Chains A and B, each alone.
Chain A
Amino acid sequence: MSISSRSSSISHSQFSNYPYQQDAVRVIAQHCAGGQEQHRRFSVDPQLTSFDILKNLIGRAFDMKGDFAINYRAVDDYGGEAYLPMVSDWDLSAAFLSASDPDLQLVVEGKNIPLDVEDGSGDYEEEQWDMIKSDEMISSASPLTDSQDAKSQYSQKTDGNTSGFSSQSSLSMISRVSSAVSNNPQYPISFNAKLNTAGLFNAMEKLVQKAKNLYDDLSVVTSRPPLSDVEFRNYLDTGGTLCKPRELRFACYHGGIEPSLRKVVWKHLLNVYPDGLTGNQRMDYIRNKSKDYFDLRDVWKSAFQNGQINEEVLYVSNMVRKDVLRTDRHLKFFAGQDDNLNIASLFNILTTYALNHPTTGYCQGMSDLASPLLFIMGDEAQAYICFCSLMDRIKPNFSTDGLAMSLKFAHLAEGLAYYDQQFWLYLKSMGADDLLFCYRWLLLELKREFAFEDALKMMEVMWASLPYKPQDVPLYEVKFTHLNAHAMPIPIPSLTSSYSKVCAIRRSSTALNALDIRKRRYSHKKIKGNSTNLSLDENSLSSLSTSSAASVRSHRKPFYSLDESTELISSSEFLSTSPFEILSPEMSQDMPKPKMIKNLKEFWMIGRPKSFSSAADISPTTSFPTSTASSTYESIKNAYDTDLNGQVFLDDSGGSRSDEGTTPTEQCSLADSTKTYQDSSSISNIQSETTEKNLIPSEIPISNRDSELSTSTESASKISGDRMTATSLNPASSSSSSAIDNSRETSELNYSYRNNVNRCDVEGVSQGGESEHDSGHCLSESFENSVEPEFQTGATRQPAKMPNPETLGGGNPFLMFLCLTLLLQHRDHIMKNRMDYNETAMYFDKMIRKHNVSKVLAHARQMYSNYLKQNVSHA
């Protein structure tokens, strides 16, 4: 028959990433008959065209008389092209979808099968048996599904395997293993011990056996190609409902997402949709939400135009504007003049969010979280919806109490101690075990650490590791209106206080660090020779500023870490300049008022730098360059202040904070008039006394604390009253130091030191050796206990076990492993060069946007999977 040599090839134009959004697809059909090529061009509507119709069309176009086969050209992920048979509607839709790259050509072998011929028809000869296995039966409750894309189905056909399992690619085998094992509805990538019904367990074991060697190979390879359109369609049912959210997440977790698909899939990963929406319902949902967003936006926009805005709103918008103008400007998307429309969109998103979420407000760093969303969505409203959903999870990071961040730090430290004790000890010896240089990592979930494109991939992988949580995203917390614009205080950027609080908490939890500092402090005191005419302020400040050396270090970081564009220069100058020098009290007293702290001031929002005028006596251990002495000095004081607040705040935020308004860091400033100090100190003591009872868990090992509490606080307030006369204090402090010297030999070593440091931090002045258990200590101790009960012991020896996935990293366990990976990948370099705290911090800051995303992800995935396996075996 003449048809036998016929073949036709079809190509059609590219279309957009969402299935069938395009109305028409151009089809070019090629057909060879008898050495003569014929072409036909026509358009079809992908929504209406079924395979039968297409076949009919082609048949008529070429006036074909017999049966013929259609093949289409597909390009696989490795760039190889293949002609796949099109025999069903499935193939057709796959062809429509995977035609995304410029041209999809399909090659179909024309076939000529006389119906009456008895020997097998070539194509069907290869038909394979599909073996229904017992495995499949038993695990039918668990999602051992065929999440394979069309290509692997074809590869099954071609490689001639009869077993469904063995013909899977090795990597999809792993995904099967893991998806079989991870049936926890909470965490898509986690093992669940509950599942071990005998049958499934056997099946699992077999699979794990098979996959075992493959796990070893995983260390380097990127596990699988990014999620493609075809594959994504497999997770939707025929109505477009996402019916396999966990499988989708699994695929994204292992391979990321093809860039063109991000706009669609990110919304799923970010839990933007309620459960069970069909494709059309999703579009309606987004449309409605977008309308809501524009309503929200118009409220404040019109308020702006009418000038009916109060100062706070103006302040928020100014902060947003300032940050937006320097967020990701190197991207073409945000480049150009400041009137770039995308920048305006970003501004709108953040302002709308801040005004409608009064408890969160705007905080530096949010622009970094929003910009990738806007970049991918390309639509302000959709980006806003995603941002709301994302912030819903991340907003504890920005809260002023610093608890969420401290927890993450604690877990990170715990993880580091667990996975690499050597490095951990090294950092400890460098005093860097507070890991505060990771602040930006945790706050922005590593967005800044990778180049933008890489960060997108990292983020989607990380989001995919989080639980599937369908929800109707609330776009506002309290609707912003003209009326409540004045009633509702919008929190001003709170990164400062939250950061300093985290610092305080971190430092107080690193006991050895404190010990170290104490040692230096005592040596310093000896050098000073117990001068007798120290004023109260000098004395208190000396003890505090020395003990807060760590916080000085760490407090510098935000200047270049979070504010890279402007403060970077000043801070690096600041770090790299001149040798260290001891400032004598006289010297610093003679110092003119700080004039050079513009950045610092701006950043820390210190309203009243004058208040520290009489403060003196910077210890030799606080190392800073003389050239910027006064500004450093200021920063120390700030550090010290915020440090104080870190301790005291927890309880007295109600009373004393209110009169300080928005600058809580000043509320305890020791250099205020002594009267103020005395007042605030006694207030804090009293309040701490009352709150302590609520805070302290019963198992705190200090039994006599409660009994001593009332007396110690009494004496504390008494002492603070007595502090008006400065000389009365010196004997007390020296006796305290000697008491501590003695207690070094006791078993309570760390405890007493921390105790002392904390007390000093809170009280500013030692109160005598005998009152070891004063309120300040109790407070911080109990606070630590409430935040990181396990880590108290974990800090000094290797913890037996990591926290479980539900709590690790405050609900984002994979982030912890990403951070650990970043640390571990550079540990050798850091240890080899004996980098100290500052050098380490600077080193990581230099690595900004330079980490290798695929290496990091592969490494982190491996660690994470090991961690999960371990967790199962522990459980």
Chain B
Amino acid sequence: MKTISSLTMKGPAMPRLLARILLAGLLCLTLPLLLAACGGDDDGGADGTAAATTPGAGDGAGGRSGGVLRIVTEEDLAAPLDAGATYSAGAFNVLTATNRPLYRYLPDDPTRAVPDLAAAAPEVSDDGRTVTVRIRDGVRYSPPVNREVVARDVKYAIERGFSPAVGNGYAGLYYGAVIGADRATGGPIAGITAPDDRTLVFRLRRPTGGLLAEALVLPLSAPVPAEYARRFDRVGEGETSQYVNHQVATGPYRFKADASGRVLGAGIVPGRRYVLERNPSWDPATDDRPAHLDGIEWSVGNDPNVAGRQVLEGSGMSLGDTPTAALIKRAVEQHPDQIFFSPGAGSRFAALNTQIPPFDDPNLRKAVAAALDRNQMRLVRGGEVLGDPATHFLYPGVSGFEEAGGMEGPGVDFLANPDGDMELARRYLAAAGYPDGRYTGSETVDVVGDSGDPSDKNAQIFDETLRSLGFRTKLRLVDSGTMYGRFCTVPRAKVEVCPNLGWQRDFDDPQTVLYAAFSGDAIAAQNNTNIPQLDDPAINAAMARAELLVDKQERAEAWAKIDRMITETGAAIPWLWDKQPVLSSKDVHCAHQVWNQGHCDLAFSSLR
């Protein structure tokens, strides 16, 4: 396996290098104007008028077997890269290549989960309180474990997810109804049993088997060998599980490791690079993924503009970040077959605090929603290629989207005009007790936005909208972590407006989009996910009923109704359904994971 650097470096001989440095130095001194000219041809962002070029997601077929795909990013993969802990699209992308959760999605079908480690679809009992999964034969761990996977490995994997040393963020949300899970801190959970090596049974306190069955696509269900992992998971206070640095694989690839199995420093170098190589224990007879590539290498910390150019003009590369507006424009105009806009990449919305004035008044919320120019909000992000103006919260590609009204939405008047409707906004203001159509309250509205480009511009547009209606505002732009961690998710911070919020589904179930974001039960003093603090008894009751449904279509219809109810409150203003642009080199046959932000599915993609 070559390293990233050795692939990039073409190994020039030293005397030639000296000549080159002299020549480079000479040119530096003599070509200042040329310098400026060369840097200037990328200026400007994608204006949204360029035609959308969206080649098919593809399945990687047609490429050759072998080669190394290089993925370049600026941002680090959201670590730790432990299947039991991680909770981000980029990390899911990597870990689906190294792990075999019970189920997974095919790259271009975000709605249908297929068995991976499981041998068949999960069996949910009629009362919705028991879920049974059969485990496939012949799946083995990579060295140094090497043995065959058994059902109790999945039991251990899920149990360790409840350990604070692992720190899984969704275990409680989706597996919390399993008997004993409410008290679990990493030890055995009574409601998960493995009666034999091939059978795994979940017994639930509440009849929420439908949701649990869907959640089995999450990486937490990927097996972990207890006898190997336990020594890394049992750590003292103040420390975190070290299994991530010694992890073994079940998928077609594994993190490069030393002889002892340690991947830290070899396959995982945080903030620098991640290297995958073929898993010698992987048996293609047990997996329908072609695994064309010999290896995958991530390079982290790249300047986004430089990395984007390297991808577009180089070979064997894909950009792991969202490209800059200038790069999108360049790709659309000059390399249209190298950019893919992945639909259903999430939704963006603004939350208005429903618990404190002035937005405890629904009419004022609706006035703001009516006035907001969602097309302008989209334009500053790059225009129509990057998404559609949102009309509700279940976004395209999520189960229940069509039932909730599709692109047209539920038909509420205050979201009818994507360019904004000031006349309607004034009518709502009048209904709120401001007959001249202008807010005259004395309080200052605290608006906290994301300082990163282009989110800062979205926050400024929102702030201007509020001001145009007469609100006095105080706009604070901070980094994303601070925006969430210190302001928007902390009710006692009493922030009235958070305009830069986004949500992505965890798997294909509408509950994963709506519950945490809008259920009254989700309101918490810290890490509050219901940022508008919407606590509507009718909505809460509808959610309580909908989460017990097992049939997928019934769930879609029930949650679509809830989506409509939420939209009608105006507690949050949906303004964009994202399409995620993904850049790849011309010789990369990228099988885009449409379920996961359009990243190249590493086990399906290939080089031409």
- The answer to whether A binds B is no
Which B residues lie at the A interface, using CB under 8 A?
Answer: none
